[in-house]
Amino acid sequence: MKKSVIIGGNTYNLTSPTIKGITLAGKCLGDIPNKNDIYEILNEKDKETLCNTLSYFIAGDLSLAKRLSKGDKKEVVEAIKIIIVDFIQPILLRASLMAKNVSLMAAKPKL
């Protein structure tokens, strides 16, 4: 699934990020406070950090960070939210379910 966003007048295609991109973006975001609202979490970060994070998600490096910084912070936050909610979260839920099923195959609980 692909989605497109417009940031600073440029269109960016959002797809599922690579493992490398997810890892680098996670390091870039740093500690994430324990809050329920993703907008609240992302809005606490400065614009440069958000642009770097989005660049890691899209390109796997910082090659887009400067162009992304020309956009509005709201546009960058929305794009990161789309990537997390629409691409990363479903993968993590599937991985969690697979891990549970594997653990049940390895050691079935006694009833």
Could you tell me if residue 111 is inside a domain? no
Could you tell me if residue 87 is inside a domain? yes
Say if CB 38 and CB 81 are below 8 A apart.
Answer: yes
Place of tokens 């609240």: 40
Rounded mean pLDDT of 35-49? 92
- Output the CA–CA distances (angstroms, integers) from residue 53 to 33, 73, 76, 97, in the order listed: 16, 12, 9, 27
Tokens coding 82: 């789309």
Give the domain extent around 18. Answer: 3-106
Could you tell me if residue 29 is inside a domain? yes
The count of domains in the chain is 1
Rounded mean pLDDT of 28-56? 92
Give the global pTM. 0.86
| Phi, psi dihedral angles at 97 (to 5 degrees) | -65, -40
Could you tell me if residue 56 is inside a domain? yes
The yes-or-no verdict on residue 81 having pLDDT over 70 is: yes
Across the chain, mean pLDDT equals 92
Could you tell me if residue 34 is inside a domain? yes
